[in-house]
Structure 1
Amino acid sequence: MNSYQSDEAPEPVGLYPHARKVGNLLFLSGIGPRERGKQSIPGVTLNEQGDVVSYDISVQCHAVFKNVRAVLEASGAKWEHLVDVTVFLTNMKEDFHTFNAIYAEYFGDVQPCRTTVEVTALPTPIAIELKCIAAIG
């Protein structure tokens, strides 16, 4: 088994790699929209207590897709290799329509299997996280 880290994707918030290859499958750890080396999160405004005051799901979607691409490329894979995507949203009612439209821009020709679920919270103050599997040679 090989583990991979990307110099472009945000640092993991725990003891785990960005990705791990087993056979011809590449499993990506949960990836959000954070930026490497920064405390701020794209599209998120926090108050002094660290609570989310506002967020822009479209900015977060573009950032998370950028991070997934960075991890894939650092692992020797391509966007087109994605076969399964699990999406975690913290507000399905408000964000699903916007997310789904942006998702279609990125995945129009690739069309991996997808599951989208709403969760109460994610480990950092983000509104979206992706868990992906890619098939590579």
Structure 2
Amino acid sequence: MSQGIDAGGAPRPVGAYPHARRVGDLLLMSGIGPRDPATNTVPGNEHDAGGKLVGHDIAAQTRAVFANVRAVLEASGARWEDLVDVTVFLTDMANDFTAYNAVWAEYFPDPATAPCRTTLGIDALPTPIAIELKCIAAFKE
């Protein structure tokens, strides 16, 4: 039996799916991006005078996506420390990996206790974001 989780403190999903689903002692999270839950804006996005996206700040987006992941974890009864596996999607691996990796190290300073991680470079995400996380957490007894 599984239970879908809707986290009010995280941005609304962009499709018909829950923020997360609990299955036994595991929490499987849907892809979480850096959109601000209150305004739906993307922190760190830079636009020209005509409103066209011209750049982004991956450090700002990484911090924002971590805050959104934490909101889903807390709404699910889990903690940041319960993360066991994270898949990261970057739309600009060549330019963003180093800054993203530095922010990761701020949040997970000890590799021995950090979740496993896979980072993929992809062409695009469904909204104008540069990073998305897919996470799995394991509830502690």
Give the TM interval when normalised to the shorter protein. over 0.9
Q: Does 1:120 align with 2:128?
A: no
Bigger shift: residues 77-86 or 45-54: 45-54
CA distance in 1, matches of 2:134, 2:18: 13
- Determine if contact 1:11/1:37 at 8 Å carries over to the other structure: no
User: C-alpha offsets along residues 18-70 of structure 1, whole Å, 9 cap, x if unaligned?
Assistant: 01001111001000100114242111123577642111111001000000000
Name the Cα RMSD after superposition. Answer: 1.5
- Aligned partner of 1:135 among 123, 138, 141: 138
- Determine if contact 2:11/2:40 at 8 Å carries over to the other structure: no
Q: What is the number of equivalent residue pairs in this alignment?
A: 137
State TM-score, norm by structure 1: 0.94
Provide structure 1 residue ranges, at least 5 long, that are not aligned to the other structure: none
Moved over 3 A (4+): 46-51
Provide structure 2 residue ranges, at least 5 long, that are not aligned to the other structure: none
SS in 2 for 1:62: helix
- Determine if contact 1:85/1:115 at 8 Å carries over to the other structure: yes
- Determine if contact 2:6/2:75 at 8 Å carries over to the other structure: yes
CA distance in 2, matches of 1:24, 1:129: 24
CA distance in 1, matches of 2:6, 2:60: 23
CA distance in 2, matches of 1:23, 1:50: 45
Measured after TM superposition, the shift of residue 8 of structure 1 is 1.1
| Pairs within 5 Å for 1:1-137 | 1-47=2-48, 51-109=52-110, 110-136=113-139, 137=141
- Determine if contact 1:51/1:125 at 8 Å carries over to the other structure: no
SS in 1 for 2:117: strand
Bigger shift: residues 31-40 or 47-56: 47-56
State TM-score, norm by structure 2: 0.91
User: C-alpha offsets along residues 79-130 of structure 1, whole Å, 9 cap, x if unaligned?
Assistant: 0000000000001110000000100111224311100000000010000000
SS in 1 for 2:133: strand
